[in-house]
Amino acid sequence: MSRVSTSQAKRMAQKMGIDFSRHFDELSNSRVVDLLAIRRLHGYRAPQQRAGSEARYFFYYLKRR
């Protein structure tokens, strides 16, 4: 399976209704599940010593891009 690029992942998330101008905690549970599905397609791996969920790290990773 080929991986999607960061820009493709961000576009996919926006099409699914994820608003990067807002805070992660404002996302509904279904949006977090969507974000995790996109993370799998992208292949993103959060740091081992993280303080928070992989979904949160991936959200802010895409937000910075």
pLDDT tens figures, 11-65 = 999 999 999 999 999 999 999 999 999 999 999 998 889 888 999 999 999 999 9
Judge contact between 42 and 3, C-beta under 8 A.
yes
For residue 7, name the pLDDT band (cuts at 50, 70, 90): very high
The answer as to whether 32 is a domain residue is yes
Sign of CA dihedral 40, 41, 43, 44: negative
pTM: 0.90
Judge contact between 4 and 42, C-beta under 8 A.
yes
Q: Is the pLDDT of residue 2 over 80?
A: no
Top pLDDT among 2 and 64 is at 64
Judge contact between 48 and 25, C-beta under 8 A.
no
The answer as to whether 1 is a domain residue is no
Whole domain around residue 53: which residue ranges?
Answer: 6-64
The answer as to whether 37 is a domain residue is yes
pLDDT value at position 1? 56
Q: How many domains does the chain have?
A: 1
Closest CA to 55 of 12, 1, 3, 40: 40
